[in-house]
Amino acid sequence: MIFEHAPALIIAFPLLTSFAVPILNRFGEKFRNFFVLLSLLFSLFFVLTLAPQVYSHGVIVYTFGSTSPGITLPSGYSMPIRITFTIDGMSIFMAFIASIVSISGLIYSWGFLKKERVGMDKFYSLLLLMSVGMYGMIFTGDLFNMFVFLEILSIASCALIAFWVHKGETSEAAFKYMVVSSIAALFMLIAVGIFYGQYNALNIAAIASMINYNLLDKIALSLLIVGLAMKAGAVPMHMWVPDAYGQAPAPITMMLVAASQASLYALFRTCFTLFGLRLDVAMVGWIIIILGILSMFVGVTMAIPQKDIKKLMAYHSVSQTGYMLLGVGVGLAVMNDPIAFQTYGMKAMEGSIFHIINYALYKGLLFLTAGAIFYKLKTRNLDEMGGIAHNMPLTTLFFIIGALAIAGIPPLNGFASKFLIYESVYRFNPLLSIIAMVVSVLTLASFVKVFHSAFMGPKMKKNVREAPRAMLLGMAIIAILIIIFSLFPAMVVRTIVDPAVIALANQGNYISAVMGGI
């Protein structure tokens, strides 16, 4: 059965196409674009076929190079030596985000980069590699493998940030990104080395079954938290975010948002699956909460005075990442108290994990609208814009959807997830919840400012028309998903968010899926 191999094929098709793009390129632009889209659609298809399997079986394991995908422990071995993909509810949830974002980013790029003459084969090659890096980080059940995919993701993103190397400050942004991601990757490598030295294992489940939270493990944990929070753009390490998000081409910025979410996923995986209840959960939980609060507040206050539309949105990304850290931190902090965890810890995690997908969608949409404005007006400065609503009505509509969603205005999906976070965090500590609400108000304020200065006002003198169709299609895919999520939040939470939360909270299932009944 081909569906048995779905986890490998999700990665393999984009990888194959990515390597073939320089050859496909010789047969013409349309031909190449068709195959690139086809490979991403294949991945989406396999993600969708994999999802019911995961929801009915709990955890799916795929062992590379073994005689059958399910055999993690060949006879005589007590520890998995082959690379495995371990896919549970959380992984498949993140895979939805990765596939949606990659596909709409690709379609948008057809319009956005139509005028580029050179380097388009490399652009699509790297875009596919970025997608592979995300899928890999999300699916892998092996710590070293996770490091490898993190590096694939970082190198591909770094090259794509510097795509317009001849204009602006892209090289500076790319260099900063490269330095930050190498440091983060090195931290992760040292942590992996510490685990390997102690337990002779690289498999997450194998380490998790043996881990004992001694001093060395604490060092490894802090390295992992710092490294991955750095890649996710949490506040003390957020300096690369505005540059990288601001300078990259808009579709790449959207993919970078999803890439940061993949790092966030790795962070959650480390805390919940690798350590689980062996952690000093209250302390680590509070560390993550404080990172979250700092990111929320500093991000939004830095965003308000910005004049560069993409930089402003980038600072908002920092602030939104804070919400996810806050909710999951609260969930982690009360994990060893079953009653508190059931009453509000679970809800807080539900809220933040729901926020991950909402954020990836509306932030992606906002960056794409900013890209459309940049494509037509050739500027990112808010002072040089005005009256765009007259010329680009559809873009304006998409911007309004995105802006209302990010500000958490009731009918939209941002409200659903933020409300879950406020409600549950209030029962943990009212002050945190109040800070979260204030940040949300400030977010609204700054988007009102953007809306007013860019879209309202008299018609521009320049004759500007609506963005090309491919770009509108890329934005429309995301906007439709946002509307669906807004209309049926309870259904979305029940079908895809709850399994993700349960998967994170249930370390035992993950371990026993790989290690057998230990």
**Are the CB atoms for 449 and 307 separated by under 8 Å?**
no
List 3, 22, 29, 307, residue binding another protein (CB under 8 A):
22
**DSSP secondary structure code for residue 277 in this structure:** G
Phi, psi of 248 (to 5 degrees): -70, 155
Nearest distance in Å: CB 65, another protein: 4
User: Could you tell me the smallest distance in angstroms from the CB atom of residue 225 to another protein?
Assistant: 32
Q: Residue by residue, what is the 3-state secondary structure of 453-504?
A: HHHCCCCCCCCCCCCCHHHHHHHHHHHHHHHHHHHCHHHHHHHHHHHHHHHH
The CB-of-18 to another protein minimum distance in angstroms stands at 8
The per-residue DSSP string of 4-50 comes to GGHHHHHHHHHHHHHHHHHHHGGG-HHHHHHHHHHHHHHHHHHHHHH
Q: Of the listed pieces 2-10, 224-232, 428-436, 470-478, which binds another protein according to CB under 8 A? A: 2-10
Residue with tokens 């490894």: 220
Q: How far is the CB of 60 from another protein (least distance, A)?
A: 13
Residue 37: count other Cβ atoms within 10 Å of its Cβ. 17
Q: How far is the CB of 217 from another protein (least distance, A)?
A: 31
CB closer to another protein out of 68 and 463: 68
Which of residues 27, 34, 64, 77 is near another protein by CB under 8 A? 64
Q: Compute the least distance from the CB of residue 145 to another protein, in Å.
A: 12
From the list 150, 149, 292, 180, the residue with the least C-alpha distance to 244 is 180
Q: What is the DSSP string of 281-328?
A: HHHHHHHHHHHHHHHHHHHHHHHTT--BHHHHHHHHHHHHHHHHHHHH
Query: 23 vs 219, which CB is nearer to another protein?
Result: 23
For another protein, which residue of 1, 30, 65, 383 counts as binding (CB under 8 A)? 65
Report, in Å, the least distance between residue 129 CB and another protein: 11
**Nearest of 410, 303, 307 to residue 363 by alpha carbon:** 303
- Binder among 62, 112, 245, 415 for another protein (CB under 8 A): 62
399 sits near another protein (criterion: CB under 8 A): no
Using CB atoms within 10 A of its CB, is residue 407 exposed (0-12), middle (13-18) or buried (19+)?
A: buried
Piece in contact with another protein (CB under 8 A), picked from 1-9, 171-179, 286-294, 402-410: 1-9
| Among 33, 39, 43, 63, contact with another protein (rule: CB under 8 A) | 63
The whole-angstrom separation of Cα 326 and Cα 345 is 11
Q: Does 15 bind another protein (CB under 8 A)?
A: yes
Smaller CB separation from another protein, 12 or 73: 12
CB atoms inside a 10 Å sphere around CB 429: 14
Is 3 among the residues that bind another protein (CB under 8 A)?
no
Asked whether position 8 contacts another protein by CB under 8 A, the answer is yes
Helices 309-333 and 240-247: crossing angle, nearest 10°?
130
Residues in 69-108 that interact with another protein by CB under 8 A = 69
The nearer residue to another protein, 66 or 301, going by C-beta atoms, is 66
Indicate the residue among 23 and 186 with the shorter CB distance to another protein: 23
Q: Which of 5, 57, 452, 462 binds another protein (CB under 8 A)?
A: 5
Distance CA 433, CA 422 (A): 5
Task: Return d(Cα 263, Cα 270) in angstroms, integer.
Answer: 10
Return the structure tokens found at 260.
């940061």
Stretch that binds another protein, among 3-11, 206-214, 216-224, 252-260 (CB under 8 A): 3-11
Shortest Cβ 280–another protein spacing (Å): 39
CB 161 within 8 A of CB 177: yes
| Residue number, 74 or 508, with CB nearest to another protein | 74
Stretch that binds another protein, among 44-52, 66-74, 323-331, 391-399 (CB under 8 A): 66-74
- Rounded to a whole number of angstroms, the minimum distance from the CB of residue 461 to another protein is 39
Break the chain down into helix, strand, coil percent, rounded to 5. Answer: 80, 5, 20
Give the integer Cα–Cα distance in Å for 72 and 455.
56
Closest CA to 266 of 355, 131, 140, 182: 140
Give the Cα separation of 389 and 393 in Å (integer): 5
> Which is nearest to 80 in space by CA: 267, 237, 208?
208
- 66 near another protein (CB under 8 A): yes
Nearer to another protein, 34 or 64 (CB): 64
> In this chain, which stretch among 41-49, 58-66, 237-245, 307-315 interacts with another protein, using CB under 8 A?
58-66
Question: Which one, 5 or 452, has the nearer CB to another protein?
Answer: 5
CB of 20 to another protein, least distance (A): 6
CB of 151 to another protein, least distance (A): 14
Least distance in angstroms from the C-beta of 54 to another protein: 18
Binding segment for another protein (CB under 8 A), chosen from 19-27, 47-55, 108-116, 224-232, is 19-27
List of residues contacting another protein (CB under 8 A): 5, 8-9, 12, 15-16, 19-20, 22-23, 62-69
